[in-house]
Amino acid sequence: MSRTKPASPPVSLKGCRVLALGSALGALGEGPLLGVAMEMGAVAQVEQLVPGACDLVIVDADALEAAAVAAAVKALAALNPAPPLLVLGANLTPGLVRNVLRLEAADILEAPFAPEQLVAAVQALLAEALPATAQEAAGASRCWAVTGAVGGAGATTITIEIAHALASASGKDHSVCLVDLNLADGAAAAYLGATPTLRLADFGAAADRIDAAMLQAFVTPVSKGLDLMAGVRDPSAFDAVGRDAVLRLLEVTCECYDWVILDVPRHRRPWTLEVLAGCDEVVVISELTVPALLAARAYSDEIEQGLGTGLRPRIVLNRLAARMFGPAPSMVEAEKALQRKAEAGISSDWEAAAASANLGGPIAQHRPKSKIVKDVQLLVERLASQPPRREASPKAA
Ligand SMILES: Nc1ncnc2c1ncn2[C@@H]1O[C@H](COP(=O)(O)OP(=O)(O)OP(=O)(O)O)[C@@H](O)[C@H]1O
Ligand SMILES: [Mg+2]
């Protein structure tokens, strides 16, 4: 996405390995430091650290004996290179402050502090310590967009199955975020039996305020690895939410998750092309009917021409039936109408799709043996094995 970068871009926290001393710090990994790999430890672990074993040490001085804090600082002073250190606490002694600030990369945050102050301090320390190439690698999330060629083609259903498959494969907490960009009346939350929390309209012109700390208020955890970001139903959302807010939200989301999967409305919005340009895959879902195939071809051409980057949407044919009733096109005829190869086909299984929507959750959870699950798995494996095609994640101007 070609936009002006902020003067000093924040370092992504995603995947950063943090060793935390003080039991209250555990909550940070679910809050302001969402996305970091947080390990709770003790002074002995700091004393045994080897160079490169972690990216940051955070010590809650209020939770430890003064001697333990001093021992941790001493151990880091003896390590070369040492990870940066952030010490949190109220009433820190001048002696401790002096010793901490003598370290090559260290900072102190006096309690009480706001979550944004903590995130800023962590990012500043990581930026100081990480070489530029490592910073780039840490920010390398992948973003796929899914959109329907016609209404009801199955875009939301397939978005959910793709996001669930990636989260299961990753095995990591909070690795995937499904973002429903149908801001007015998206169905992803209802299909997942989740409660949407995003009220993007509230931000108005203050889109710049959206940061990693706020993101956790916008997402609903669906499973261990999958979070959902979906708007509270609001008929005027598309008019009330500006381009900057959408782009900034996606930029921050890409900084916090390994995978970001978007359910994109098919009617173009002021932000649509910029969002798609920030994705490394755009998947257009079609049915196997002549009108849907013609719409898929036109829609996919419009996206390709609008982007002008060479990125070609991949067309996926949904609800393929084993036995066709009536004159439905065959796969070969479908590809003729599309004037290109379809990327994949997803079998039809109304029972599995309806049961899962009614129960609330992915088809892979409620009907794991459905052919839909196997077909989506193949699609995900195929797409994931492709090198990322975009140049940058979605970013706000
Ligand atoms: N492979 C499938 N087999 C059977 N039913 C399916 C399949 N995929 C989707 N469906 C069903 O088709 C209907 C429409 O699906 P979905 O809501 O995902 O479409 P959509 O493209 O997101 O629609 P919209 O245009 O309203 O956003 C739902 O009832 C869903 O359960
Ligand atoms: Mg939908």
Radius of gyration over every alpha carbon of the chain, rounded to an integer in angstroms? 24
Ligand nearest to the CA of 349: 1
Asked if domains 17-136 and 141-384 share a fold, the reply is yes
Cα–Cα distances (Å) from 169 to 155, 226, 345, in that order, read: 21, 11, 21
Per 3-state DSSP, what percentage of the chain is helix, strand, and coil (rounded to 5)? 45, 15, 40
State whether the beta carbon of 350 lies less than 6 angstroms from ligand 1. yes
Atom of ligand 1 nearest to the CA of 157: 18
Q: Which CATH superfamily is domain 17-136 in?
A: Response regulator (3.40.50.2300)
More confident residue, 216 or 319: 319
Instruction: Provide the pLDDT for residue 39.
Output: 92
- Between CA 263 and CA 158 the distance in angstroms is 9
Average pLDDT value for residue range 150-172 = 96
Report yes or no: 311 and 304 within 8 Å, Cβ to Cβ.
Answer: yes
More confident residue, 71 or 332: 71
What does the pLDDT look like over 259-303, one tens digit per residue? 999 999 999 999 999 999 999 999 999 999 999 999 999 999 999
Does residue 315 register a pLDDT over 50? yes
- Between CA 361 and CA 376 the distance in angstroms is 15
What does the pLDDT look like over 20-31, one tens digit per residue? 999 999 888 888
Distance 363 CA to ligand 1 centre (A): 12
CATH fold for the domain made of 141-384: Rossmann fold (3.40.50)
State whether the beta carbon of 103 lies less than 6 angstroms from ligand 1. no
What is the domain partition of the chain in residue ranges?
A: 17-136, 141-384
Q: Is the preceding omega at residue 362 within 30 degrees of 0, hence cis?
A: no
**What's the whole-model pTM score?**
0.69
State whether the beta carbon of 352 lies less than 6 angstroms from ligand 1. no
Does residue 328 register a pLDDT over 80? no
Atom of ligand 1 nearest to the CA of 151: 25
Residue having the nearest C-alpha atom to atom 5 of ligand 1: 350
What does the pLDDT look like over 169-197, one tens digit per residue? 988 889 999 999 999 999 999 999 999 98
Does residue 6 register a pLDDT over 60? no
What does the pLDDT look like over 220-245, one tens digit per residue? 999 999 999 999 999 999 998 889 89
What does the pLDDT look like over 340-355, one tens digit per residue? 999 999 999 999 999 9
